[in-house]
Chains A and B, each alone.
Chain A
Amino acid sequence: MYHILLQGPSILALTFPFNLIFDNMKNIYILAVAAFVLTVTGCTKLDESLNGQIGNGGIGSGNVPALLNASYTAMRNPYQGPWGWWSLQEFPSDEAIVPTRAGDWDDNGAWRALHLHRWAADHSRISDTFRDLNSVSYVATNVLQFNPTAVQGAQARFLRAFAQFSILDGWGQVPYREPGEDVTQPSKVRKAPEEIAYLISELTAIIPNLPDGPAYNANKDAAKVLLMKCYLNKGAFLNRTAPTFDAADMAKVIALADEMISSGKYSLTAKYYDNFAPANDQLSKENIFTAQNIGGSDAGAVKDIWVPGLHYNQNPSGYNGFSTLSDFYNKFEAADSRRGGVYAGMTNVSGIKVGFLVGQQVDQNGANLKDRRGNNLIFTPEVSIIERDPNHLEVAGIRVVKYPIDYANLATNLAENDWVYFRYADVLLMKAEAQLRSNLTAPALVIVNQLRTARGASVFSTLNLDNLLDERGREFFWEGVRRQDLIRFNKFLLPWQEKPADDPKYLVFPIPDNQLSNPNFIQNSGY
């Protein structure tokens, strides 16, 4: 509260100034010929009393549905769009790169550091994502102190487990708080073995209480997919330099997959890109867990999954940044529907196709688009971490449009496409991987070929870890899982296009500098 008091003597002065102001354009303005200036001087006394106190974090309401809804909304920051968790999963991988394009995308080398595996403990994208993932964990935990119903409590605990799984994947240690705990105190921290055991017990406990659907709610099958991921990645989270896979864990993965396969609830969507379309909540047969976006009124940053890759002169105008690598693009067969092509409602509006944009770009009438220098806009497969040819700057790199663009809601930037977390295809490929790691190669090959056939690709004659990893790349490219896959397949430190071999310390991210005052964190080794 502020009190302002005017005290003391006041002086009244009269002046008649003639003002001539010379600005630096050397123009002369005669501002005033005569003016009365009333000057009041006095003492000002400021009494300040502080009434604010930060308690347990600002959320104090007992309205459980609103708090649960806030937990879903808190997921948008770290997960939707390419800036948060997605950027940490994709840019350090072999399927995404942000080339520095002269005036664009240097950003203190932050993007290069991700692709080259040169990040440090002050990398702002790493610390912001860590903060935002933990905020999901905090907000979901907070629901639990207001006596939620069993269903509400299970949903909140699922969202918390979902965020903590990402934190475990990224940082190898997970801070947590009890409901209602004082946020000014350091949080407790679970190390990887303790956390993976906690997540498995937590998910197993909440599955009976979760609803059956819809996909945009925390649901039973979503928890089963996350539980599958816990068992499948456990060996990698516990030993990242040499992952091992326990037969009992693989059996759990297979059993959970079979529960969902036998339910008959899901099938592979005939048109792959319908899974990501504006109406994907209606069109997709395989989406298991999504974030609901309501076009034009209530949505996360899903539109940023297409905007940063598009060129300035495309519709919508993009940021001309993100690209994929030609080695990755070349893993696709020409007939593979996942490589993309014309998409109704989009290509006829702007000329932009779904999937991979390479070569001459056109508008909706087929006329060639130009870059800003007036050359034809031809996206090239060649891309460098720093583009050095002025004529190649704007066109370097194949662009990716994973989510069909929602033209109906361009004006508000709030696209209708629901953000996709888990798909049935992942259940199938995780089952195949667990079988392959259990030496059940023949049934695994059947599953992979079933998927490849559905996508229009030729069948494999054999299955091994290499072509299964490639298949996961083709199926889940730009869905924010690639780093986790590369680590589990023990290939994350190998050199690939525009990235040298690197140090094992990069298998986990550093605990951000600004959190090290919490004594329960021990900085990951090497940082």
Chain B
Amino acid sequence: MDYFNKTTTDLLFPQIPLVPANAGVTVTWVNLPGKITNKGVELTLNANIIEKADFSFSLGGNATFIKNEVRDIVGVIKTGSLSGQGLSGVTLEVIQDKLPLFAMVTRQYNGLNAQGFSTYTDDGFTYYYLGNPNPSVILGFNANVRYKKLTFNANLNGSLGQEIYNNTANSVLPVSNIGIGKNTTPDLVNSSIQESLANPIASSSRYIENGSYLKLANATIGYSIGNIGTAIKGLNVFVNGQNLFVITKYKGFDPEVNVDKGVNGVPSAGIEYVPYPTARTFNFGVNFSL
């Protein structure tokens, strides 16, 4: 069990020039006076439950509880540019004093009104801190079983508490696609209030989703045959699968997503915009030495 309190200072930051300046020189790299703190507790537990000559079974797990905060930054650094129709020039995330790194600051969505239009706090003119792309808990589990020459091991990982901005749902699959030859999602058609086809595409907390997940990252079954004759030594056959299942409420392809939506070299976090889905991969393999 570890306690950690890590402070990152002298952040390298692309400072926008103080005008008047040449438009060709976009940024000057400076060290910011502010800092980023990561505080938390890390727990690790490993247990060899059975340990015999021809049978063993062990379990391991670790959990990291983490809190991230930006301190003493002057002003607001914007990043996380959103993409798509109706979202030109829109940025979602900020690096700002007393908020987590890449805090999502946007309009507060209050549902659809009877006419099927989105409603927002203060008509959407005031933005609020409504989403945090940083997880509060990072989890890892592994299991190893050996029975005679047969081995099995599996790794699960997960993280809890982070939020994802679903830019794909926001601008690629809006309800206004109906009637102009594009697709939308069944959720928007089969809802209790029919969303108006004239409802503007706007960034808001409507598209901030719970990104918590638990994923079976990989599992392997192997069988050790041993030596065959004198030519082949240590023959081992195995079946391995990766990305076998994900438990999540996130509606996009994969909650383990981070499409680069940085602005002027400042990175972003936790925004999904039409990424390739993660492949589910199976390998059958043979290992030996000569």
In the bound assembly, the distance between CA atoms of A517 and B33 in angstroms comes to 12
User: In the bound complex, do residue A14 and residue B290 qualify as a contact, i.e. CB atoms below 8 Å apart?
Assistant: yes
Which residues of A80-116 have CB atoms within 8 Å of chain B's CB atoms?
A: 100-110, 113
Contact A109 B76 (CB under 8 A): no
Q: Are B283's CB and A183's CB within 8 A?
A: no
| Cβ 8 A contact of B25, one of A57, A130, A518 | A57
Known: A103-B176, A106-B201. A17 touches B283 (CB 8 A): yes
For B18, give the chain A residue with the smallest CB separation: A518
In the complex, the answer to whether A16 meets B286 with C-beta atoms within 8 Å is: yes
Query: Quick check: B196 and A390 within 8 Å, CB to CB?
Result: yes
A108 with B18, Cβ < 8 A, contacts A102-B201, A113-B125, A183-B25 known = no
* Most chain A CB neighbours (cut-off 10 Å) among B22, B25, B124, B197: B22
Question: Whole-angstrom distance from the CB of A146 to the nearest CB of chain B?
Answer: 15
B183 CB, min distance to chain A CBs, angstroms: 13
Q: Smallest Cβ distance from A312 to chain B, in angstroms? A: 10
Q: Is the CB of A106 within 8 A of B86?
A: yes
Contacting pair A24 B280 (CB below 8 A)? yes
User: Within the complex, which residue of A74, A120, A388 is in contact with B196, where a contact is CB–CB below 8 Å?
Assistant: A388
Residue of B nearest to A59 (CB): B22
Contact residues of B between 194 and 227, Cβ < 8 Å to A? 196-203
Instruction: Give the contacts of A311-346 with B (CB-CB under 8 A).
Output: none
Residue of A nearest to B117 (CB): A388
B186 in the interface, Cβ–Cβ < 8 Å?
Answer: no
Query: Cβ of B75 < 8 Å from any Cβ of A?
Result: yes
Q: Determine which of A20, A74, A125 lies in contact with B284 in the assembled complex, contact meaning CB atoms within 8 Å.
A: A20
Most buried by B among A18, A22, A108, A122: A108
Interface set, chain A 183-205, CB cutoff 8 A to B: 183-187
Of B42-50, B63-71, B87-95, which binds chain A? B87-95
- Looking at the complex, which one of A58, A130, A388 makes contact with B19 (CB distance below 8 Å)? A130
Say if the beta carbon of B180 comes within 8 Å of chain A.
yes
Contact A517 B198 (CB under 8 A): no
A282 at the interface (CB under 8 A from B): no
Contact of A107 among B75, B78, B87, B180 (CB under 8 A): B87
B35, chain A: closest CB distance, angstroms: 17
Q: A17-B284, A138-B20, A138-B21 are in contact. Are A104 and B198 (CB under 8 A)?
A: no
Among B28, B180, B198, B285, contact of A184 (Cβ-Cβ < 8 Å): B28
Q: Which residues of A contact B282 (CB under 8 A)?
A: 19-22
A328 CA / B172 CA spacing, docked (Å): 36
Residues of B within 8 A of A18 (CB): 283-286
* In contact, A135 and B86 (Cβ under 8 angstroms): no
Total cross-chain contacts (CB, 8 A): 172
Question: What string of 1s and 0s marks CB contacts (under 8 Å) between A114-138 and chain B?
Answer: 0000101010110000111011011
B229 interfacial contact with A, CB 8 Å: no
Q: What is the minimal beta-carbon distance from A116 to any residue of chain B, in angstroms? A: 9
How far apart are the CA atoms of A386 and B75 in the complex, in Å? Answer: 32
Whether the pair B75, A390 counts as a contact (CB closer than 8 A) is no
B20:A137 contact, CB within 8 angstroms: yes
Asked if A401 is at the interface (CB within 8 A of a chain B CB), the reply is no
A482 CB to nearest B CB, Å: 23
When chains A and B are docked, how far (Å) is the Cα of A124 from the Cα of B89?
7
* Contact residues in A for B22 (Cβ distance below 8 Å): 57-59, 135, 138-139, 142, 183
In the complex, whether A389 has a CB less than 8 A from a CB of chain B is yes
When distances are taken between beta carbons in the complex, the residues of chain B under 8 Å from A514 are 16, 75
A77 proximal to B (CB < 8 A): yes
A361 within 8 A of B: no
Q: Which range holds the interface residue count of chain A?
A: 35 or more
Give every chain A residue within 8 A of B75 (Cβ-Cβ). Answer: 513-514, 516-517
Verify B20–A135 contact, CB threshold 8 A: yes
On whether the beta carbons of B277 and A24 are closer than 8 Å, the reply is yes
Residues of B within 8 Å of A124, CB to CB, are 89, 91
A185 to B21: give the CA distance in the assembly, Å: 11
Residues of B within 8 Å of A77, CB to CB, are 23
Question: When each residue 104-138 of chain B gets 1 if its CB lies under 8 Å from chain A and 0 otherwise, what string results?
Answer: 00000000000101000000110000000000000
B192 CB within 8 Å of chain A:
no
- B287 within 8 Å of A by Cβ? yes
The range of chain B's interface size is: 35 or more
Given contacts A103-B174, A106-B86, A132-B23, contact A21 B286 (CB under 8 A): no
A496 interface hit (Cβ, 8 Å): no
CA distance A387 to B78 in the complex (A): 29
Q: Which of A100, A107, A183 contacts B21 (CB 8 A)?
A: A183
Contact of A107 with B86 at beta-carbon distance under 8 Å, contacts A183-B17, A513-B75 already known: yes
> Which single residue of chain A is at the shortest CB-CB distance from B178?
A390
Check B185 for interface membership: any CB of A closer than 8 A: no
Shortest beta-carbon distance, A140 to chain B, in Å? 9
B74 touches A (CB below 8 Å): yes
CB distance from A112 to the nearest CB of B (A): 9
Cβ 8 A contact of B280, one of A23, A122, A137, A175: A23
* A272 CA / B254 CA spacing, docked (Å): 59
**Residue A45 at the chain B interface, CB threshold 8 Å:** no
Binary interface encoding of chain A residues 4-26 relative to chain B, with 1 for a CB under 8 A from any of its CBs, else 0: 00000000001111111111100
Taking a contact as CB atoms under 8 Å apart, the answer to whether B90 and A108 are in contact is yes
Chain A minimum-CB-distance residue to B29: A54
A68 within 8 A of B: no
Residues of A within 8 A of B198 (CB): 101-102, 387-390, 393
> Quick one: closest A residue to B253, CB to CB?
A24
CA distance A22 to B283 in the complex (A): 10
Q: A108-B90, A135-B23, A390-B198 are in contact. Are A373 and B180 (CB under 8 A)?
A: yes
**A518 vs B21: C-alpha distance in the bound complex, in angstroms?**
13
Knowing A183-B25, A517-B74 are in contact, say whether A108-B89 is a contact too (CB < 8 A).
Answer: yes
> Given the known A-B contacts A57-B21, A106-B201, are A17 and B89 also in contact in the complex, defined by CB atoms under 8 Å?
no
B129 to nearest A CB, angstroms?
14
Given A23-B279, A106-B87, A373-B179, CB of A134 within 8 Å of CB of B20? yes
Residues in A with CB closer than 8 Å to B285 are 15-18
Task: Check if A141 is an interface residue, CB within 8 A of chain B.
Answer: yes
In whole Å, how far is B75's beta carbon from the nearest beta carbon of chain A? 6
B89 and A107: CB pair below 8 A?
A: yes
The 6 residue pairs across chains A and B that have the minimum distance between CB atoms: A134-B19, A138-B20, A135-B23, A390-B197, A134-B20, A18-B284
What are 6 of the A-B contact pairs (CB < 8 Å)?
A21-B280, A57-B22, A103-B174, A183-B22, A515-B16, A515-B19
Beyond A20-B282, A135-B21: 16 further Cβ-contacts under 8 Å? A19-B282, A19-B284, A21-B280, A54-B25, A54-B28, A103-B176, A107-B89, A124-B89, A135-B20, A137-B19, A177-B20, A386-B200, A390-B179, A390-B198, A517-B75, A518-B18
Interface residues of B, Cβ cutoff 8 Å to A: 16-25, 28-29, 74-76, 78, 85-91, 115, 117, 124-125, 171, 174, 176-177, 179-180, 196-203, 277, 279-287, 290
Residues of A within 8 A of B (CB): 14-24, 54, 57-59, 74, 77, 100-110, 113, 118, 120, 122, 124-125, 130-132, 134-135, 137-139, 141-142, 175-177, 183-187, 372-373, 386-390, 393, 513-518
